[in-house]
Amino acid sequence: MKLAILGAGDVGRSVADLAGEYGHDVVALADSTTATVDDDGIDIAGALERKAGDEALGSSEPDDVFDADYDVLVEATPTTLDDAEPGFSHVTRALEADRHVVLANKGPVAERYEELRALEADSAGSIRFEATVGGAIPVLSTIEDSTPQAVTAARGVLNGTANFILTRMAAEGLDYEHVLAEAQDLGVAEADPTFDVDGTDAALKFVILANVLADGGFSLEDATVEGIQNIPGSALDLAAEDGRTIRLIGEATRDGVRVGPRLVPENGPLAVTGTRNIVQIETRNAGSLHSSGRGAGGPETATAVLSDVGRLPPL
Amino acid sequence: MAAVSDDPVDEDEAETDGGVRAYTVRLELVDEPGELLRALSPIANNGGNLLSIHHERGNITPRGHIPVEVDLESPPDRFDGIVDALRDAGVNVIQAGAEHYGEEISVVLVGNLVERDLSNTLSRIEDEADAVVRDLSLAAPDGTDAVSSARIRLAIDSGRSDAALEAIRAIGSEKELTVVEPLLGGDSA
Ligand SMILES: NC(=O)c1ccc[n+]([C@@H]2O[C@H](COP(=O)([O-])OP(=O)(O)OC[C@H]3O[C@@H](n4cnc5c(N)ncnc54)[C@H](OP(=O)(O)O)[C@@H]3O)[C@@H](O)[C@H]2O)c1
């Protein structure tokens, strides 16, 4: 497949870097200001080097990407809430041109799922978005394989930053502020960790899961969301006395989405440690399935994007 | 209801107050006058508190005894002593320890627990969530004027955990407390 990649951050760059390994060509790569476009395949190494040196990716405008001869648009621009722009318009343009779209950007699938599905229905192209939920962990494809109707709920830990903070608080008996500062020093938490610790990022992923289970109907405003900012070390100590710990757990069913700090057994499957993620898929006929792994990171997320590309039918 | 003391709030360290649990004991009594009274006296004498007696007249075991179900409360560490005392008194104890309430859940409350009147919070939970507080651990590392945490173990009737948690959530939000609920459902509860 010929890929056009929008976004040259951790994810977009890794997709470009790994595309060849998966047998795909990259015909365009754009960041917020410039793009490099070549229907015979761009010079990926050169573009990545220029990006690393803070130079322009190429002489084209980001908009020129849509004129390239591509099969799949990879949407890896920043996740935005509400109208999910500009991601939503990017997806619209590609579908209207009868191309496939693979998203890493959570915004459009969480906030405007039904509109995306309607656009897809009128297009020869289709959308896939494995990378939006749980990075490298195959969550959506597991649900797809079990058929969404046979899945009753998805639960788990889908934010590595919050999980890292809770793990360290429990292990070291330290308070939230202290561990957050440590996580920022280690590069685990971003300079502005708001969406990670207030539950928004996890909620977006569980909203996407609920949309897949119920075939739409949910956006962030339908989710009940609570973060971990108010959890003191003493709460984790009390939980530990009882063989439990506290994790930022999300739940998605056809009835709704909830994210918040919850008590889980200390040695249970959902009490993953550090930045690890886990998803428990509850099925009607086959009990629960658990998948855990790295929920974020450039190459990890790019793997999910490229697996999606591999699942697309030829146009 | 269980006797829950609020005393631990005076301590700086987490501790449980020991708590009281409800138990059901099934006895077989000989059909003789005074037998029931004789059978039940070891309960009170060993620190138990009699809650109720179910005595089905006309229901007789093959050996001609009368089955009686007794609900009682006691501190968990005294329950075995009660059963032993019943047996020592010649009472035939068929089954002991089946709990009166079908489910137990733990929640952790976080916030200005003492300022928000912890004992009132607990009694409201018992009333509004239809639960019995089995025990309470409080951790107030920065003193009771600061944010503290409490773990509460609750006994509730089977199948009522969702409704109970909803009631606790409502009390929590009214009192500006963070309620950390257990995750029920799946294999994770
Ligand atoms: N990182 C992960 O582990 C992960 C995992 C799952 C999903 N995601 C999602 O994947 C997406 C990309 O993540 P990331 O970590 O790569 O983000 P990032 O490092 O912030 O990169 C975003 C990229 O998008 C570019 N961009 C912004 N507006 C654009 C526009 N209008 N047209 C074209 N490019 C535009 C930015 O350009 P400049 O370089 O010029 O600023 C930047 O290169 C996000 O939606 C994120 O939520 C990320």
Q: Same domain for A82 and A203? A: no
Query: Tell me, what's the pLDDT at B60?
Result: 74
Q: Same domain for A156 and A241? A: yes
Q: Ligand 1 pocket, A6 CB below 6 A?
A: yes
Mean of pLDDT values over B67-80: 84
* Residue B5 within any structural domain of the chain: no
Residues B181, A239 contacting (CB under 8 angstroms)? no
Least confident of A152-156, A177-181, B89-93: B89-93
Query: Tell me, what's the pLDDT at B1?
Result: 41
Confidence of residue B146 (pLDDT cuts 50, 70, 90): confident
Least confident of A23-37, A110-124, B97-111: B97-111
Least confident of A134-143, A186-195, B133-142: B133-142
In terms of average pLDDT, the best of A295-309, B51-65, B89-103, B129-143 is A295-309
Confidence of residue B70 (pLDDT cuts 50, 70, 90): confident
Domain boundary among B63, B97, B131: B97
Query: Tell me, what's the pLDDT at B9?
Result: 38
| A interface residues, B as partner, C-beta within 8 Å | 153, 155, 226, 230-235, 237-239, 241-242, 244, 246, 249, 251, 260-265, 268-270, 280, 282, 287-288
End-to-end alpha-carbon separation of chain B, Å? 25
Q: Same domain for A20 and A149? A: no
Structural domain for B59, as ranges:
20-97
Query: Tell me, what's the pLDDT at B143?
Result: 84
Question: Looking at per-residue confidence, does B139 or B158 come out higher?
Answer: B139
* Residue B189 within any structural domain of the chain: no
* Residue B69 within any structural domain of the chain: yes
Query: Tell me, what's the pLDDT at B102?
Result: 64
Confidence of residue B57 (pLDDT cuts 50, 70, 90): low
Is the pLDDT at B53 greater than 50? The verdict is: yes
For residue A86, cis peptide bond before it (omega within 30 degrees of 0): yes
CB contact under 8 A, A242 and B186: no
Question: Looking at per-residue confidence, does A197 or B38 come out higher?
Answer: A197
Residue in A51, A168, A205, A247 annotated catalytic: A205
Q: Ligand 1 pocket, A135 CB below 6 A?
A: yes
CB-nearest to A235 from B180, B181, B185 is B180
φ, ψ for residue B96, nearest 5 deg: -135, 145
Residues A3, A310 contacting (CB under 8 angstroms)? no
Mean of pLDDT values over A41-60: 97
φ, ψ for residue B2, nearest 5 deg: -75, 150
Q: From start to end of chain A, where are the E strands?
A: 2-6, 25-30, 35-37, 72-75, 100-103, 127-128, 151-157, 223-225, 244-253, 256-265, 276-283, 288-294
Q: Same domain for A286 and A215? A: yes
Q: How far is CA A292 from CA A153, A155, B158, in A?
A: 16, 12, 32
Query: Tell me, what's the pLDDT at A164?
Result: 97
Helical packing angle, B161-174 and B118-128, nearest 10°: 150
Share of chain A above pLDDT 90, in %: 94
Residues A194, A255 contacting (CB under 8 angstroms)? no
For residue A305, report the distance from its CA to the centre of ligand 1, in Å: 13
Q: Same domain for B67 and B132? A: no
Query: Cα(A310)–Cα(B22) distance, rounded to whole angstroms?
Result: 59
Residue A75 sits in a domain of what CATH number? 3.40.50.720
Query: Tell me, what's the pLDDT at B33?
Result: 79
Helical packing angle, A176-185 and A160-172, nearest 10°: 120
Q: Work out how many domains chain B is built from and give that number.
A: 2
H/E run at residue B9: none
Q: Same domain for B31 and B88? A: yes
Is the pLDDT at B135 greater than 90? The verdict is: no
Q: From start to end of B30-114, where are the E strands?
A: 49-55, 66-74, 92-99, 103-111
pLDDT, tens digit, 9 for 90 and up, residues A240-274 = 998 999 999 999 999 999 999 999 999 999 999 99
Q: Same domain for A109 and A24? A: yes
Mean of pLDDT values over A45-64: 97
Is the pLDDT at A73 greater than 90? The verdict is: yes
Q: Ligand 1 pocket, A105 CB below 6 A?
A: yes
Confidence of residue B77 (pLDDT cuts 50, 70, 90): confident
Is the pLDDT at A138 greater than 90? The verdict is: yes
CA angle (A230 as vertex; A243, A275 as ends), nearest 5? 60
* Residue B63 within any structural domain of the chain: yes
Q: How far is CA B10 from CA B7, B16, B134, B138, B150, in A?
A: 6, 12, 19, 10, 13
* Residue B187 within any structural domain of the chain: no
Mean of pLDDT values over B93-97: 72
Structural domain for A31, as ranges:
2-135+298-311
The owner of tokens 């809650």 is B51
Q: Same domain for B92 and B115? A: no
Domain boundary among B97, B116, B141: B97
Question: Looking at per-residue confidence, does B114 or B63 come out higher?
Answer: B114
Residues A165, A179 contacting (CB under 8 angstroms)? yes
Share of chain B above pLDDT 70, in %: 81
Q: Work out how many domains chain A is built from and give that number.
A: 2
Query: Cα(B22)–Cα(B106) distance, rounded to whole angstroms?
Result: 16
Q: What is the pTM assigned to this prediction?
A: 0.81
Mean of pLDDT values over A136-153: 92
CB-nearest to B141 from A234, A282, A287 is A234
Is the pLDDT at B189 greater than 70? The verdict is: no
For residue A222, report the distance from its CA to the centre of ligand 1, in Å: 25
Domain boundary among B69, B97, B125: B97
